[in-house]
Structure 1
Amino acid sequence: MSLKLYQRHPRSLEPILENTYLDVGGQTIYRVHTPFAPTPNRTTTISKTLYGSPIGIDHPPLSPSTIRRVLPKDDNAANLASGSQRESVDDSGLEIEPNASGEASNTAGHEATNPLATRKSRPTLDREGTNFTYLAQIDWRVFKSSKIRFGEGQYSYAGREVHVKDLFKKQGWGWWGRHRVFTGEDGNEYRWRLGRTRPELTLNDALKTPIATFHNQRLFSRQGCAYLEIFPQGQHMVDEIFVTFIYIERIRRVKQTHGI
């Protein structure tokens, strides 16, 4: 069965850079936080709760009506409109917010400590008492390659700082430019396809086996919450999929916004 991670705030001005992701039981699994700053360089911190497995991997999924009950009412897609985003793009196609900053700060519920300095992830508590642990940080850069700092965990690059030009290689062409290929923790190659309206992750093989896809919110459907769906073939590397998804969907939206 598929694992579905629902966005808590789909109508945020920055739904990819600032959001919380819930499983079908309404349990928080991931948090993505990007502090505002006045320079073009910002840092996104990705944290994960310490619950254990999200519902959908070790538990049967809930019905759509139950999902609507556990998700906040304002997350139901009916009567919602996505907020617009204003972004800037450098000549390499990397996306950065116009009002942006250097380093992430420690905020309630978000661990911004550099794992390269501590060499381990330290759990923190959010305002509701939920325990989070550091997963990764993305440093968005305009004039040079952005980079990702991975926390300790099940990653090919665990505990390392990697430039995205070294993490991803460009291969093939899609609606918004070159697709991105990376090597997963299992040694297989995976391709993020920059689709016209959403990103899709497949094995980078002849069969293009589906691994994950993002579903945008549907404005006129009561079951239309935006969510990332991870298929059984990718559930051994959920954290790695989620971190790379944040990067890929960010650059895809920038290209879509600017038509490049």
Structure 2
Amino acid sequence: MVNQSARNLRLRKTDTIGVIIPLAHEAGQMISDPFFLEMVGRLADEITRRDYLVLLNKVITGEPGWLDRIIQSHRADGLLIIGQSTQHDALNGVAATYRPMVVWGAPIPGHRYCLVGSDNHEGGRLAVSHLVARGRRRIVFLGEIDAPEAIQRFEGYRAGLMEAGIAFDPALVIPSHYTREDAQGAVEGLLASGVAFDAVLAFSDVLALAALTTLQRAGKRVPGDVAVVGFDDILLAQHSTPPLTTIRQDLEAGARIMVDLLFRRMAGDSSPSTISPVRLVARESA
């Protein structure tokens, strides 16, 4: 009987899948962020169902060669990357020679890696359309615009305004890092500035939930005074008070597709990039 460990060592096979979260753009964001917890959990379910182990790695450096070093360590048979951060060039740089890699993110012209994601642009547009249909005209975009998914959600926000005949106002773009604490500070600053607004579209549900509670503490009624819309539809979204209207990405299907495509690539097959539709889930916050 062949010793499986010896055979795997000879073949450099680890029966392990690496799950990498690159955060060169946002070193303060934690793996305990609800979006990452849900995505990592769903990926782990799919990976372990195939009798593989999971190796989780948060990368906060954009130093050249970080991805090559992970690949050359041979600690995993394939890699799943959650988010492109600012590392599109690094991902593109290994795509031609390293096949067993699938990236969650947003399509960028010229990307050579296998990509799975959601229609972020349409999500931003849908959210604004929903708010405008409910009489909102002064719609804030809350979040940074420094990574592909964020950029496309922001572009969808602008497209929704244009469709409604509403002029884009830079004063309504409120930067916030991807943490609850930073979003709270950003909304407090917005309230103190005196800028008029009647709705908030946040980059993520985490930021939207922070905005919702900060507005309520300031005496604002949600949605009476300010409507709030998030993005992702994490599990917490339906349990806030009021429950959060949001753009739903199907993370369960996304994780399944990522793992399916990765194992196809590990077997030497080709696999297409996949962008899935999103939908608006209307709850009481808007």
Which protein has the bigger strand share? Answer: 1
Q: Into which bin does the TM-score normalised by the smaller protein fall?
A: under 0.3
Structure-2-length-normalised TM-score? 0.25
Structure ranking higher in helix proportion: 2
Q: Which has the larger radius of gyration?
A: 2
Q: TM (normalized to structure 1)? A: 0.27
